[in-house]
Homo-oligomer: A and B are copies of this chain.
Amino acid sequence: MISKKIEKALQGSSAIRAMFVEGKQMAEKYGAENVYDFSLGNPATPAPAAFNTAIKELVDETDPLVLHGYMENAGYTDVRAAIAENLNKRFGTKFDYHNVTMTVGAAGGLNIIFKTILDPGDEVIVFAPFFGEYRQYAANFDADIVTVNPDLETFQPDLADFEAKITEKTKALIVNTPNNPTGVIYKPETMRKIAEILEKKQTEIGHDIYLISDEPYRELVYDGNEVDFLTKYYKNTIVGYSFSKSLSLPGERIGYVVVPDEASDAEDLIRGIEISNRTLGFVNAPSLLQKAVARCLEEQTDVAFYDKNRTMLYEGLTKLGFTCIKPEGAFYLWVKSPVENEEEFVTAGKKYHLLMVKGSAFGCGGYVRLAYCVSPETIQNSMQAFAKLAAEYQLQSR
């Protein structure tokens, strides 16, 4: 007596989440130090001390009726204004509080954006490989995901394929840069071309196409890379942000959505997103957390921590003979499976207590994702396991 959609979901469910549970079970069986769990994007560096200080100060200083009470569904005005101001300072944008809606993480943000713009049968284009949950979010509104192939050398999107896949049903494109699962940052040149294609196609098909920028990894970049604010490239851009990774708060579910005034039907979008926030059951982003992140907008996570992990894992695996895409941001390493069917490779890894996620979960088989948001010790200790795995596939160490 469950719904047909959920009946189907019970069969599939999330490969990442299933592995999260499997990892916990293996840790119980073999000891946590003997399991190398690279499955989940759960930050390994703690929230900045300023976050806990902000929480304690807020609790001590704020009227509890305000701190824990209802506010407008879009969030506290002062919090939204602080975020707008911070973005303006960093990116030269011109947002105001009314452009910002506080959300229950980026997942909540994407769902209320989708609810606001998608009708059944609409198509949402994604660049493979992509965060697999986009499929479920689109399915919530009976819309379809259309995938665009990557360039297998650079993992930038194949723009000819992108242009070919835009139809009258296309309502939106999701861009996720720095990318989960590849760690690649889309080049300014790529973004300019994407915007050009969208502008041209909008005119051709006679309706707007929104670019949804899903950017939980915006601040997680290496080697002096930067990610420009995508509203500058294309006016119909809606931004979904999360503090999960930038402040190491994934369990707290706090983020925001930005709709620029230049977007088509901006006012309706903003109101629609506020209504969706309420009616989809979020009501509003958690109040204490809204106030706390507003006090931590200048804080940064320990990027150097992830950078060291990145180098250690990338160099370690490359030396062992694995083919990896060097990550420019986020905290994932995208590794080519030595055999075409990467599920076989994932299974082989488990023998050595290595937990990797199959690429097909990201719409791109033949690869696996390693989340290196783990302790440096995990990476160090995992090397002997990877060495055994490399030997099993007779890889040539370099």
Contacts and interface: CB of A to CB of B under 8 A. Distances in A.
Nearest to A253: B286
A70 B250 contact: yes
A188 interface: no
Interface in A15-43: 17, 20-21, 40, 42-43
A279 B119 contact: no
A128 interface: no
Interface string A256-272: 00000000110011011
Interface stretch (A105-113, A222-230, A309-317): A105-113
Interface stretch (A44-52, A189-197, A362-370): A44-52
A248 interface: yes
Contacts of A71: 251
A140 B288 contact: no
Nearest to A72: B21
A124 B90 CA distance: 49
Interface stretch (A4-12, A148-156, A346-354, A380-388): A4-12
A332 to B, nearest CB: 15
Interface in A153-172: 171
Given A107-B283, A111-B281, 8 more contacts: A44-B65, A69-B248, A104-B104, A104-B282, A111-B280, A140-B281, A253-B282, A281-B282
Interface of A: 1-7, 9-10, 13-14, 17, 20-21, 40, 42-44, 46-47, 51-52, 55-56, 59-60, 63-65, 67-73, 104-105, 107-112, 115-119, 133, 136-137, 139-141, 171, 207-208, 210, 248-254, 264-265, 268-269, 271-272, 275-276, 278-289
